[in-house]
Amino acid sequence: MAATPLQTQTVDLAARFPSAVSVDARNGYTGWLVEKDKLLEIARSIKEELGYDLLTSVTGVDYLPEEKMEVVYHAYKTTGGPGLIFKVQVPRQDPIEIPSVTPLWPGVDFQEREIWDLLGIKFTGHPDLRRILLWEGFAGHPLRKDWKEGFYEEDAKPFKSRWPEGNYVSSEEKNPYKDNLSFPKNFDPEKWIPEGEAALYGALARYTETDEQGIKSDRIVVNMGPQHPSTHGVFRAVVTVEGETILSLKPVVGYLHRNHEKIGERNTFLLNMPYTDRLDYFNSMSNNFGYALAVEKLMNIPVAERADYIRIIMAELSRVQNHLVLVGMLLNDLGAMYTPALYIFEERELILDIFEAVSGSRMMCNYFRFGGVARDIPEDVLQKIKDLVFKRLPAKTDEMDRFLSENEVLVSRLKGIPVIDGPSAVQYSITGPVLRAAGIPYDIRRADPYGIYDRFEFDVAMRTHGDLMDNYLIRLDEIRQSIRILEQAVSKIPSGPINSQKPQYQVRVPAGEAYGRIEAPKGELGYYVISNGKPNPWRYHVRAPSFINITGLEKMCVGKKIADFIAILGVLDIVLGELDR
Amino acid sequence: MYGKGIIKGLSVTLKRFWYTYWDDFVWFIRSFTTGKRRYYSEEGIKYRSSSSTRGIFTIQYPEEKLILPEEFRYVPFLVYDEKDDGTKDVRCTSCGICAKVCPPQCIWIVRTNDPQTGKPVPVPAEFYIDMDICMNCGFCSEYCPFDAIKMDHEFDIASLHRNVYNMEKLLKPASYYSNIRPKNFQLEEEARRAKEVIKAAKAGAASSPS
Amino acid sequence: MTNENLNSPGYEIPAEMSNLVAITTLDRLYNWGRRSSVWPLMFGLACCAIEMIVAQTARYDLARFGMEVMRPTPRQSDLMIVSGTVTKKMIPAIVRLYNQMPEPKYVVAMGACASGGGPFKEGYNVVAGVDKFLPVDIYIPGCPPTPQALIAGLIKLQQKIDKESIRTVRWYRKGPDSVNIPIPILGPDLIDPRRNAELRQISSGIETDKV
C-alpha cells in the first residue's frame, strides 16, 4: 500500500473561516480545529457548500494532561475521495457543552448520546440526550481517564502483578467489595431509588386520544427484547403500537456493552488485535483488517505483497459468509424456519474450516499483524479456497437464488416495503449494503480504496428501490462480486514473505492520530486511534456500522407493521458485539 | 403462474433430499470395491468436510470427530521434554513474555530464585492460567521464544467448577505436542538444531587459537 | 443411554430370559427420559451464541441429543445456556428468565465470559461470571467453545442428570417450587439485594473518588 495518508487535506477551511478555524498543528495530527460557537455554522458550510454529506464518525477524546475535551468529526463525500476532519476543543470542566449537529446530520444522534454517556460531554440542542450504553443513575462517565472501575489494576498492560512474582490472586480478592463493583462513599443500597426507565418511556411519543364520547384511549407500549428470538442478540426495542402499526419506536442498546474501548486503551497496540475479533463476531477477519490499517497508518509501514492478497481473500470470504448468514437468518425471522438457515450454514462451515486452518480458530481468527498476517496459507488450504471459489460458492449462490428469490410468499413479504430512501440514508450516516440498496453506490473499496482493492475488477452492487426485496437481493449481488474478487485474488497471489516486519510483541507506534476504515460487510468499519508514543493507545474508538445504522431505525419503522420491523431489523444486519462494543 | 417460484424453490429441497439417500446408496455400493465407508471412517469425514460434499453433512460427534487442522487452538499448555531418566525437563524459562503479551492478562508466573545467590533460575516455580479469562488468542505460543507454551487441541474440558490451571495441569509432554502439531514441531526442532550447530561452531572458533 | 445401561438394575436375569425381560429402576428410566429431552432456552448473549446456533445446524446436529427444540420462552425450557458475556445491564433480565423457568432447570456457562468474566472481566459493565447469581451446573472453557466442545459439555450435563435420583432432587421436596433469586438492581453500580448490608458496610469504610 502506498504510504500516503488517506486524509489528505483538500479543502482549506482556515481560509474560508479565518477567525474560527485553525489547522490542527499537533505532531501527527491532521484536520481543523473549529471554535465551539461557530461549529454549527461551519458544519453547515461543510455539508452544504463543500459537499461533505456523509458524517461517518463522531467521537470524543479526553485529554486529561492538557485539561481539555475534544470532539472529532469525520466527514466524507458519498461521491468518494478523502475525508475532512474537524474538531472542537473545550476546557475539561463540568458542565462540558458543545452544540449538537443533529439538525444537520441526524445520524449523529446515537453517537452523541454515546459520548455523553461515556465521556460526559453535553450536546446542547440534542433532542433526546439520555445515556445509551449504560443506564440512568450510573456513577460517572467511564471513558474519562480519571474514572476507575472495580477491577481496576493499572493504567496500562502488562500488569506488574503477573510476573515475576505472579502468585495467582483473582481480581475479586483485590477489590474491597469482593466483586467488580465500586460505590460512592456511604452508599446505602436499600435507600437507592432506581431511576428506572421513566426517561426511556418519556422519550416515546405519547398518544392519548379522546373520542367523541369523552373516552380516553391510550396506545400500547410493547417491549421487544432483550431476550427475543428475532432481535439477533440482546437488542431491545420499545415500540408504541396501534393494532399492528408502529407509532413510535426507541431502540435500547447496551446489553452487551463490554467496555471494548476502555479495555482497548489499557491494552498495548498488539493486544487489541484479538479483542477486535469480538466486535462483529461473524467477521473477525474484517475487524482485524480495519484495525491493522489504522495502526499501520500510524506506524507508516508497508504491508508485504503476499499478505495483502491474503488479507483480501480473507476479508472477502468473510463477506460471503456474512451475507449468506444474513439471508438465512432473514428467512428465519420471516417465518421460513430453519431450512434456508440450515442450507447456508453448510457453506459457512466450509468457509470457517478455511479460517480455522489458516488462523487456528473458527470465529476469533486473530490473524492479522501489523505489516502482514500471522501465518502463511498452506498450499492445500489454498487449493481448498480455489475449489470453493471457482466451483462450490457460485453454484450455491445460484441455488440460494433459485431456492428463494422468486418464492411468492417471500416476494409478498419483502417487495414494496421501503426500508429507507437514499437521501435519508445519507443523512442518517447509514453505510454498507443498506445504503447501496437505496441507490447510493458508496463502497469504500471503490470510493477510498484501501489495501490493494484498486487492483481488482469488480462492480459496486447497487439497487434502486431501497425496499426490503432490494436489501435482500443486494446481498446476493455482493456475494457474486466478492466471488469475482476472490477468483482474481487466488489466481494472482504471489509468493513471498507474509510480513514486512519482524515478528515482535512490542511495536513502536509514533505519536499521532489515524482513522482506518474499511468496507466491512455491514458498512463502514472505522478505527480511530490516538497514540502518544506510549505502548498503549491514548484513545481507541470503533466506528461500528451496526451501531450507526440503527440510528435511523425509528424513521424506517414508523407507520409499518410489527412484522415488517422484524424484517427491517433482519436486513439491517446488526451484530450486538459491535453495536454495544 | 402464481406458485411457480415456490415450486422452483421446492425443487432445490427435493434435489437435496434425493442426494441424501442417493449418496448413501452410492457409497454403500462402492464400499464393496473400495472398502471406504461413508460413516464412522476417516475418508467419510474428509469427504463430508470437503468442498464437493453433498447429501448428509452431519459429523456425528462424539462417535465421529472433525479432523482438526494443525493450527487449531483451544487452551494453552506447557511443553516438557522427557529425559531418559524419566524426569521432566520443563522448557519454560519463566522469561515472562507470554504473561506480557497475554491480552486479558490471564497468565501468572512465579520465577524461581536461587536460594544462595538470589539470582533468577530459568525455571518457573509456579505457572497459573485462569481458563475463565483466557481468550484462546494464541499470542503466548506465537511469541514464546523457547517453544515452551503451545495451544492445545483438546476441547473436551468442560467441568463442574471454575478452571484455574496450575503447573501440574498445564504440563504435557513434547511427544504429545509433536503428535498434535507434527509440522510445526518438525520446523521448530530443525531451527533449534541449526541454532545449536551455529553455537557449537562459534564455541569451536572461540576455543581454537588461530 | 445404551440398552445395556438401562437394563442393569443389579438383578440377575436368567440367561434364557435375557432378551425377553427388562428390569430397570424408576430412577434410570426417569433420568433417561429427561436427559434425552433437554430443551434449551433460545437465548443468546454474544459470540458464543453463534456457536450455539451452529451446534444446532446440520454439521453438529444437536437433535441427536434431543436438544433441538429451542424454546424462546423460559416457561417451556429446561436448560439455560448462558452463551456469552454477562453484563451488568443484562443480568436483571437473565435472573428474571431463570426465575421464570420451571423446575427441573439447569444452567450451562458456555465460554470463558459466562464462566468467569472472560477477557472482558476487567470491564466496568461486566459481571465476572454468571455463577455470581445463578447456580451453574457445567462450565465450558473456551473463547468461544467450538460446537463440538459445547456438545461435549452437554454430554457432561447428561451424565450429571443420570446421577440424580427422584428421592433427592429439590423439585420433589417440600418447600417452594423453584429457586427464586432476587433480581439485581441497577444503581450507581450493580446492586445484589442479597448483599445489601455487606455493601453498605464496606462502602462506609472505604475512600473513593466517586461522587
Give how far C118 is from chain B: nearest CA, Å. 4
Which pLDDT tens digit goes with each residue over C125-160?
999 889 889 889 999 998 889 999 999 999 999 998
Total structural domains in chain A? 2
In one letter, which amino acid is C111?
Answer: G
Looking at the fold, whether A120 and A266 belong to one and the same domain comes out as: no
Query: Can the peptide bond before residue A95 be classed as cis, meaning omega within 30 degrees of 0?
Result: yes
Report the largest interatomic distance among the alpha carbons of chain A, rounded to a whole angstrom: 83
Phi and psi torsions of A460, nearest 5°:
-80, 115
Q: Do A360 and B138 touch (CB under 8 A)?
A: yes
Amino acid identity, position A153? E
CB contacts of A503 in chain B (<8 Å) are 142-143
Choose, out of A117, A255, A536, the residue to mutate when testing the contact with C (most C CBs < 10 Å).
A255
C32 domain-assigned:
no
List the single best residue of B17, B45, B71 to mutate versus A (max A Cβ within 10 A): B71
- From A77, A95, A124, the end of a domain falls on A124
Phi, psi (rounded to 5 degrees) for C149: -65, -35
| Gap between the Cα atoms of A242 and A559, Å rounded | 10
Asked if A152 lies within 8 A of C146 by C-beta distance, the reply is: no
Q: Which grid cell sits at B158?
A: 468442560
Q: Of B134, B78, B128, whose CA–CA distance to B104 is shortest?
A: B134
Instruction: Please tell me the total count of domains within chain C.
Output: 1
The answer to whether C61 contacts B58, with C-beta atoms less than 8 Å apart, is: yes
How buried is B60 (Cβ within 10 angstroms: 0-12 exposed, 13-18 middle, 19+ buried)?
Answer: middle
**Do the Cβ atoms of A465 and A382 come closer than 8 Å?**
no
With an 8 Å Cβ cutoff, are A192 and C200 in contact? Answer: no
Chain C hits for B105, CB-CB cut-off 8 Å, are 122
How far CA C4 is from CA of A33, A550, A564, B77, B189, in Å, comes to 78, 56, 53, 38, 48
Least confident interval from A151-165, C33-47, C172-186: C172-186
Q: Examine the domain organization and report whether A343 and A492 are in the same domain.
A: yes
CB contact under 8 A, B162 and C160: no
A137, A257, A346: residue with CB nearest C87 = A257
Q: Min CA distance, B43 vs chain C (Å)?
A: 16
User: Which residues, including other chains, have CB under 8 Å from residue B85's CB and lie 6 or more apart?
Assistant: none
Contact criterion met (CB < 8 Å) for C128 and A179? yes
Retrieve residue A287's grid coordinates: 475487524
- B73 and B136 Cβ atoms separated by less than 8 Å: yes
Q: Are C140 and C109 in contact (CB under 8 A)?
A: yes
* Cα distances (Å, whole numbers) of residue B164 to A506, B93, B130, B134: 27, 21, 4, 10
Q: Give the pLDDT score at B146.
A: 87
CB contact under 8 A, C137 and B136: no
Q: B99 vs A158: CB contact, 8 Å cut-off?
A: yes
Q: How far apart are CA A346 and CA A348, in angstroms?
A: 5
Of A189, A346, A363, the CB nearest to C51: A363
Decide if pLDDT at B40 tops 60: yes
Phi, psi values for residue A72, rounded to 5°: -110, 130
Residue A96, pLDDT score? 87
Q: Give the span between the Cα atoms of A571 and A550, in whole angstroms.
A: 11
Residue C196 placed within a domain: no
Last residue of a domain, which of A76, A97, A124? A124
Domains of chain B (ranges; CATH) run: 1-67 (no CATH), 76-193 (3.30.70.3270)
Task: Name B142's Cβ contacts closer than 8 Å, sequence gap at least 6.
Answer: A374, A503
Dihedral sign for Cα A565, A567, A572, A574, please.
positive
- CB-based contact B126:B110 (threshold 8 Å): yes
Residue C92's domain is classified under what CATH number? 3.40.50.12280
Which chain B residues are within 8 Å of C121, Cβ to Cβ?
104, 132-133
In a domain? residue A243: no
**Chain B: partners with 3+ C-beta pairs within 8 Å:** A, C
Residue A253 lies in a domain: no
* Neighbouring-strand partners of residue A122: A97
| End position of a domain, from candidates A78, A97, A124 | A124
Is residue C193 domain-resident? no
Confirm whether A221 is domain-assigned. no
Residue C97 lies in a domain: yes
Identity of the residue in A166, A272, A407 whose CB atom sits nearest the CB atom of B6: A407
Nearest chain A Cα to C128, which residue?
A180
Alpha helices in A375-432 (DSSP H): 379-387, 393-404, 408-414, 422-427
- Which chain B residues touch A404 with a CB distance below 8 Å? 9
Q: Are B101 and A505 an interchain contact pair (Cβ–Cβ within 8 Å)?
A: yes
Alpha helices for A405-511 (secondary structure H) = 408-414, 422-427, 433-437, 444-447, 468-492
Domain assignment of residue A213, yes or no: no
The answer to whether residue A164 is domain-embedded is: no
Distance (Å) of CA A391 to CA A74, A169, A387, A546, B15: 41, 54, 6, 32, 18
Task: Provide the residue type at A499 as one letter.
Answer: N
Q: Which residues of C touch A223 (CB under 8 A)?
A: none
CB pairs < 8 Å spanning B and C: 101
Contact between residue A572 and residue A550 where contact means Cβ atoms under 8 Å apart? yes
The per-residue pLDDT for C4 is 54
How high is the pLDDT of residue A8?
47
B63 touches chain C (CB under 8 A): no
* Beta-bridge mates of residue B111: B124
- Cα–Cα distance for residue pair B133/C136, rounded to 1 Å: 17
> At A331, which helix (H) or strand (E)?
helix A305-334
Cα–Cα distance for residue pair A452/A448, rounded to 1 Å = 11
Per the domain annotation, does C44 fall within a domain?
yes
Please answer whether residues B48 and B24 qualify as being in contact, where contact means their C-beta atoms are separated by less than 8 angstroms.
no
pLDDT at res. A4 = 42
Is A152 part of a structural domain of the chain? no
* Residues B155-182: tens digit of each pLDDT: 888 888 888 888 888 888 888 988 888 8
d(CA A28, CA A297): 11
Closest CA to B59 of C55, A500, C172: C55
Question: Is A25 within 8 Å of A32 (Cβ atoms)?
Answer: no
Of C124, C186, C188, Cβ closest to residue A149: C124
A367 inside domain: yes
Tens digits of pLDDT across chain A (581 residues): 444 444 444 677 888 888 888 888 888 888 888 988 888 888 888 888 888 889 999 999 999 888 889 999 999 988 888 888 999 999 988 788 899 999 889 989 999 999 999 998 999 988 888 888 988 888 889 999 888 888 888 888 888 888 888 888 888 888 888 888 888 888 888 888 877 777 788 777 777 777 778 787 778 888 887 888 777 788 888 998 888 888 888 899 889 999 999 999 999 999 999 999 999 899 999 999 999 999 999 988 999 999 999 999 999 999 999 999 999 989 988 888 788 888 999 999 999 999 999 998 998 999 999 988 988 898 889 999 999 999 999 999 999 998 988 888 889 988 888 888 888 999 999 999 999 999 899 999 988 888 899 899 999 999 998 899 999 999 999 999 999 999 999 999 998 888 888 888 888 889 999 999 999 999 999 999 999 888 899 999 999 999 999 998 988 888 899 888 989 988 988 888 888 88
Residue C43 lies in a domain: yes
Q: Do B158 and C160 touch (CB under 8 A)?
A: no
CB within 8 Å: A162 and B3: no
Chain C residue numbers with beta carbons less than 8 Å from the beta carbon of B155 are 142, 145-146, 148-149, 152
Q: Quick check: is A134 in a domain? A: no
Question: Is the Cβ pair A346, B57 closer than 8 Å?
Answer: yes
The CATH number linked to A418 is 1.10.645.10
Beta-carbon contacts of A192 under 8 Å, excluding residues fewer than 6 positions away, are C185, C187, C188, C191
Three-state secondary structure string covering chain B: CCCHHHHHHHHHHHHHHHHHHHHHHHHHHHHHHHCCCCCCCHHHHHHHCCCCCCCCCCCCCCCCCCCCCCCCCCCEEEEEEECCCCCEEECCCCCCHHHHHCCCCCEEEEEEECCCCCCEEEEEEEEEEECCCCCCCCHHHHHCCCCCEEECCCCCCCECCCCEECHHHHEEEHHHHHHHCHHHHHHHHHHHHHHHHHHHHHHHHHHCCC
CATH of the domain at A40: 3.30.460.80
Nearest to B156 among C116, C119, C149 (CB): C149
Residue A5, pLDDT score:
43
Res C207: pLDDT: 60
Asked whether the beta carbons of residue A151 and residue C203 sit closer than 8 angstroms, the reply is no
Write out chain A residues lying below 8 Å of C142, CB-based.
none
Cell numbers linked to A386:
480455489
For residue A301, give its domain range: 260-501+509-576
d(CA A514, CA C61): 45
**What per-residue confidence (pLDDT) applies to C5?**
57
